[in-house]
Chain A
Amino acid sequence: EVQLVESGGGLIQPGGSLRLSCAASGFTVSDNNMNWVRQAPGKGLEWVSVIYSGGNTYYADSVKGRFTISRDNSENTLYLQMNSLRAEDTAVYYCARGVSRAFDCWGQGTLVTVSS
């Protein structure tokens, strides 16, 4: 069964750092394009970042220079390193597999709250 499980969310002060993890099962992370998508409380979906199977990475302007997407092939896990966090980064963060660029599998999400 194809499955994604996020972890690492929590309460963090503005300016702090957090690393999210997304453990995959049933498929190989490095063979797929993997994305992070976030959803602020009561709001819509916002794409954050993608890492292509070839290793290229791209970011939304709102997180560029602060967030870093990566993967560990041996652990079959996707990561999102988030630095210089701001209140507006508060959201549920989902990892999602992109198959032909449609997001066909999503994790359950992990909540990040940036507040003092």
Chain B
Amino acid sequence: DIVLTQSPDFQSVTPKEKVTITCRASQSIGSSLHWYQQKPDQSPRLLIKYASQSISGVPSRFSGSGSGTDFTLTINSLEAEDAAAYYCHQSSSLPWTFGQGTKVEIK
């Protein structure tokens, strides 16, 4: 199985700061990496697909990059509403797997 390791596990950030979350895969997955946001007591929401493709309705401050084994989710100019857990997910090979999650707290 492909293991996805996110870092950091937790980040406390001031509004308007830039946030960077990384996801490292245990083997190359090309660009088959997606990012989700999950706010407390809500279902996950797709933010970025295939490493860098934007999703309709998602604010432009969210962006993704990377390929192979190393990927990054960037939140430019963090807003209070971005307090959430963020997960990466690989669909390169079954079983699909998720990273352990990164919790972003607003200072």
- A residues near B (Cβ < 8 Å) are 35, 37, 44-47, 50, 58-61, 94, 96, 98, 100-104, 106-109
Contact = CB atoms under 8 A, between A and B. Distances in A.
Interface residues of B, number: 23
Contacts of A61: 95
Interface string B24-42: 0000000010101010000
Interface of B: 32, 34, 36, 38, 43-46, 49-50, 55, 85, 87, 89, 91, 94-101
Contacts of A101: 32, 34, 91, 96
B49 A102 contact: yes
Nearest to B6: A44
Nearest to A6: B43
A103 B100 CA distance: 17
A92 to B, nearest CB: 9
A46 B98 contact: yes
Nearest to A104: B46
A45 B95 contact: no
A47 B96 contact: yes
A94 B98 CA distance: 14
Given A46-B98, A47-B95, A94-B43, A103 B87 contact: no
Contacts of B87: 44-45
B91 to A, nearest CB: 4
A45 B43 contact: no
B2 to A, nearest CB: 11
A102 B50 contact: yes
B46 A50 contact: no
